[in-house]
Amino acid sequence: MNYLWGGMIIIAVIYGALTGNLDAVTDQALSSAKEAVSLCITMAGAMAFWVGIMRIAEKAGMVNRAASALAPLLGFLFPTVPKDSFARRYIATNMVANFLGLGWAATPAGLSAMKELKRLEETEGRATSAMCDFLIINISSLQLIPVNIIAYRSQYGSVSPAAIVGPAILATTVSTLAAVVFIKIRQGCARWFLKE
């Protein structure tokens, strides 16, 4: 990816120099850098707010209650992961954070879940079945509040930044259902091949 971005920058500078537009390339580079810093500040504010909300929910025991409520769903999606494992708690925390649109808060829990899932099946150099299933669920992630998109829309002057909530819920519901169907088909195929 670094080579791709580096190559695009080099091509843009060479093209700008050859067409006599090097000043425009320089101006746009500086303008984009300024816009990137402004966007980072906006996103940092949104991130601090929602990660703080997540921390309060965790301290109040709401995350543990949500994890308990998710136990049947986790048993359905991850039948090979023991009920009392830390992996299930981290998966539940990740799912709750993603549901609330808190990708920043979901990432540490997701990484911890992956470490625990790897420890449960001790495989060298390859992902376990449960790790793949978790990754699929994490990527599809049903979201109630798409915080990132709302922050982007607000930063770029949208009249109604939260208007994206309805379509986002619909889109992430469809993607999550597709992920669950895929996981169950894959698990069924794996069991069938193991019997053979």
What is the model's pTM? 0.69
Report pLDDT for 178: 92
**DSSP single-letter state for residue 83:** T
CA distances from 27 to 12, 16, 19, 21 (A): 13, 11, 15, 10
In terms of C-beta density within 10 A (0-12 exposed, 13-18 middle, 19 or more buried), how is residue 22 classed?
A: middle
In the chain, pLDDT over 70 holds for what percent of residues? 96
- The residues of the chain scoring below 50 in pLDDT are none
pLDDT 10s digits, 46-97: 677 777 777 787 788 877 787 788 888 888 988 888 888 888 888 988 888 8
> For residue 113, what are the contacts with CB-CB under 8 A and spacing of at least 6?
87, 90, 91, 94, 134
